[in-house]
Structure 1
């Protein structure tokens, strides 16, 4: 006569197999999500640097106008200097991030380019 626990053992083994398959699938997806999240974080960081630089320049210009009484010229100068420094900083950081990303990726696969020619699919000929 069979034991009462045997059907439950089969169910547990089936559940364990499905759980292992699910965990393997999640582990395979994790690096792709991590890369995507890192790219988003880098983009937001560059945007924050750009906006922050402009606002800091405006703030210093406003302070200059307030204490030196140079009406709009301090703000205009602060805006221009802040924008220029922010753009310079963002371009420098983006160049550094790009160099790090291309050094980390294997050669030729960094942008999905395998070097096989154009990315447009070839048309079938009759």
Structure 2
């Protein structure tokens, strides 16, 4: 009975070793897939951040323009002007966040004059 048990353990150990060696061979493929998925997630997160900054600037400009028109009675000029300013602010925020435009007052420029 103990011999059957030992044979069974040896057989299962051999099967497990074969499965582990097959898994080790496929691990670099899994790592490459995971790296690709991570890059995709980072890109999606950046796209969501940029789009939310752009849309929020437009919404805030429109809301302030509507409020100004309602209080001052200058309809529709406040809405038009502040909506356009909100659009410009949104474009500026997206350009700054994506790195296409430098920050207006960086620390390097302020400290270099001293």
Q: What TM-score bracket applies, with the shorter chain setting the length?
A: 0.7 to 0.9
The structure whose RCO (Cα within 8 Å, separation 6+) is larger is 2
TM-score of the pair, normalised by structure 1: 0.66
RMSD: 2.2
Q: Of 77, 80, 85, which aligns to 1:81?
A: 85
- Aligned mates of 1:20, 1:79 — CA distance in 2: 58
For the pair shown, the structure with the greater C-alpha radius of gyration is 2
Structure 1 stretches of 4+ moved >4 Å: none
Equivalenced residue count is 97
Match of 1:6 in 2: 10
- Residue 49 of structure 1, CA deviation: 1.1
Unaligned stretches of 5+ residues in structure 1: 98-126
- Gaps spanning 5+ residues in structure 2: where? 102-114
Aligned to 1:110: none
TM superposition score normalised by structure 2: 0.72
More helix per residue? 2
